[in-house]
Structure 1
């Protein structure tokens, strides 16, 4: 086990000695800060003085769209959920979350997990492929350590970087949000649509859950990039395929949501939030089903990575 921890330590040194790693970390913090500045000093907050009238007008427009506009069933369900949420706010005097508040800002900041995923994919794509392209794989494999431990150390280091990016994103959004907007509004509930009805959730708990749910998609995409890097020994191919699937996968699932077999696609299951704040993309899906599918995909990616890495001949 001591050999394994030394390998993880060495892999982390490789990651953080690169200037590119620190540039990516700096970009993530800078983006969070710039969005806070833009929200505070540029965007018109608009205010909530007439929010009930605005929501009533929005509901009228959504209702008309549901009745007349041709759309996918998934889109229709989302609109009906939005109508129900707006009606609940009006009836119970629950104002929408202000964008120019700490909690509204942090909710918006969860979308930046896509940037964290992008940067972690870049790291994952080069973890194995770079050893082959630089010709250092032979030096790596002559150590008195099994290939399994070597590969696991690389993957563990990649996940540690992903965790660092998530913690950095959460900390930076809280820090800049507090700096720009203060700490007020924690008592405002978050409204979710679950099991056919509107429910209230604690705002802080909701934000933590958001980061947790977004991390699942991040881990799966990073694991996919790591597998492609190991199988094809190409970091550019791993980055290209992973980013293409990350941006197009959810849209593809929405287009195919009317087919029952679409629930077996990876991207139909990565967003577990669909079970806590809405309805599943494909009718009949459950959280248990999605967790099982994620475990199957994860096991498949891990098996392919380990099997091919252990069998690959690097003598040539």
Structure 2
């Protein structure tokens, strides 16, 4: 167990010793602060009196960058080993290929958690500092905190799915550019693909990945009193996403453990 933890630590060191990682982390802190200040300056200008959690919710659009940064790390962590030829040095050590792949996956997920937590700390910190209106609004903000946390949890689920997808592409094709490109396409074209292949039009489309992402859609439908259609529900979409994640991981494991790296 100790050897495996050392392997995970080694993968984390590879991530955090690169300058780009620290640039990503800096952006995740600076952008919420910058946009939070801009929102605070304009708060009330257009007749709006936004509270801290409302501002935090508005800043959640920056979380898209967190997804991109996580995808970049996931796309590179396996492919770069083949690009630089260091995969041979890694595999001659007394670790199975399964453990090597698992350590890389854990390092990616730990990075995704760390950058997500950092984003939330920066966002909540700046909005509480600039928008907190004292103890009178404390109870209302506490209630909204639960809604904000749930929204961010749903976004994190999407991040994990797309990050593992990038990890699989990186493991299978050994190309970080392809992994990043396909993942970015899936992220940005999600709503367009969902509109074209809508489950209300094609019943089989409810099993497609992009139609089951953004779990917050069920919360919004519930709040608006809109009933679930085509047999899709929060539990259904969560199950479909879990199946996709399992398939991604199995494919990545099968290819990585069977690939010849002697050449």
State whether residues 97 and 257 of structure 2, in contact with CA within 8 Å, keep that contact through their aligned partners in structure 1. Answer: yes
User: For the residues of structure 2 that align with 1:108 and 1:11, how far apart are their CA atoms?
Assistant: 34
Residue number in structure 2 paired with 1:16: 16
User: For the residues of structure 2 that align with 1:272 and 1:187, how far apart are their CA atoms?
Assistant: 27
Secondary structure of 1:140's aligned partner: helix
Q: TM-score, normalised by structure 2?
A: 0.91
Residue number in structure 1 paired with 2:146: 205
Q: How does 1:177-256 map to 2 (within 5 A)?
A: 177-184=127-134, 185-188=137-140, 202-256=143-197
User: For the residues of structure 1 that align with 2:86 and 2:242, how far apart are their CA atoms?
Assistant: 32
Residue number in structure 2 paired with 1:55: none
Secondary structure of 1:277's aligned partner: helix
Residue number in structure 2 paired with 1:295: 242
Q: How does 1:44-59 map to 2 (within 5 A)?
A: 45-47=45-47
Secondary structure of 2:71's aligned partner: helix
User: For the residues of structure 2 that align with 1:254 and 1:285, how far apart are their CA atoms?
Assistant: 16
Count, aligned residues = 255
State whether residues 268 and 281 of structure 1, in contact with CA within 8 Å, keep that contact through their aligned partners in structure 2. Answer: no
Q: State the shift of 1:186 in Å.
A: 4.2
- Unaligned 5+ segments in structure 2 are none
User: For the residues of structure 2 that align with 1:271 and 1:39, how far apart are their CA atoms?
Assistant: 25
Q: How does 1:130-149 map to 2 (within 5 A)?
A: 130-149=80-99
Secondary structure of 1:202's aligned partner: helix
Distance 1:139 1:208, change over 3 A: same
Higher helix proportion (structure 1 or 2): 2
State whether residues 121 and 242 of structure 1, in contact with CA within 8 Å, keep that contact through their aligned partners in structure 2. Answer: yes
Residue number in structure 2 paired with 1:197: none
Q: 1:275 aligns with which of 198, 201, 218?
A: 218
* Cα deviation digits, residues 53-88 of structure 1 (max 9, x gap): xxxxxxxxxxxxxxxxxxxxxxxxxxxxxxxxxxxx
Secondary structure of 2:164's aligned partner: helix
* Cα deviation digits, residues 144-179 of structure 1 (max 9, x gap): 111001000000000000001110111001111122
Q: State the shift of 1:225 in Å.
A: 0.3
Q: TM-score, normalised by structure 1?
A: 0.77
State whether residues 131 and 137 of structure 1, in contact with CA within 8 Å, keep that contact through their aligned partners in structure 2. Answer: yes
User: For the residues of structure 2 that align with 1:105 and 1:274, how far apart are their CA atoms?
Assistant: 20
Distance 1:286 1:42, change over 3 A: closer
Q: State the shift of 1:280 in Å.
A: 7.4
Compute the RMSD of aligned alpha carbons. Answer: 1.8
Distance 1:107 1:240, change over 3 A: same
User: For the residues of structure 2 that align with 1:254 and 1:282, how far apart are their CA atoms?
Assistant: 15
Residue number in structure 2 paired with 1:35: 35
Residue number in structure 1 paired with 2:252: 305
Q: State the shift of 1:6 in Å.
A: 0.6
Q: State the shift of 1:183 in Å.
A: 4.8
Q: Which has the larger radius of gyration?
A: 1
